[in-house]
Amino acid sequence: MVIRRYSLLTFLLPLVCGALVFDVPVHNLQYTIEVAGGYHRINLPGSFSIAEPGYPELPVTTYSYVLPYQTHCVHVDVIDAVWEEIPGEHTIYPQQLLVPMYEERGFTPPDLDVYETNRFYPVHTLAHVASGT
């Protein structure tokens, strides 16, 4: 498994009357890597993980943009991306199964279909759009 980090993303936001282009400042993100139980955890301040249990627990960060009055974002297109491999060999901590605080949680092992491959992870750039007041 090869982990990639976004160092530059540019999003195209199509609007009802045209398009806007925003640069997403991911090159400013500062992450740390810590060892936990033989696994590596990538920590990024203000981030969270949306991975399925057993998949690599990778940080996700969000950005919000103000759109012109009475416009709505229809979808996001990534029009440019520069990838950077995180140097070194890392076994990324697997995302744990979410359970209520009062329940005891066992360890969720890594999904071997993901961890025992040389493919990039994640395979696709993730983008989500929400528009409104």
pLDDT tens for 110-131 read 999 999 988 888 887 777 777 7
Judge whether residue 19 has pLDDT over 80. Answer: no
pLDDT tens for 62-111 read 888 888 887 777 777 777 777 777 888 899 999 999 888 898 889 999 99
Q: What is the DSSP string of 16-39?
A: TTEEEEEEE-GGG---EEEEETTE
pLDDT tens for 43-64 read 999 898 989 999 999 998 888 8
Distance CA 18, CA 3 (A): 35
Q: Do 82 and 7 contact (CB within 8 A), yes or no?
A: yes
Q: Flag the least confident range among 13-22, 28-37, 94-103.
A: 13-22
Which residues make beta-bridge pairs with 56?
A: 94
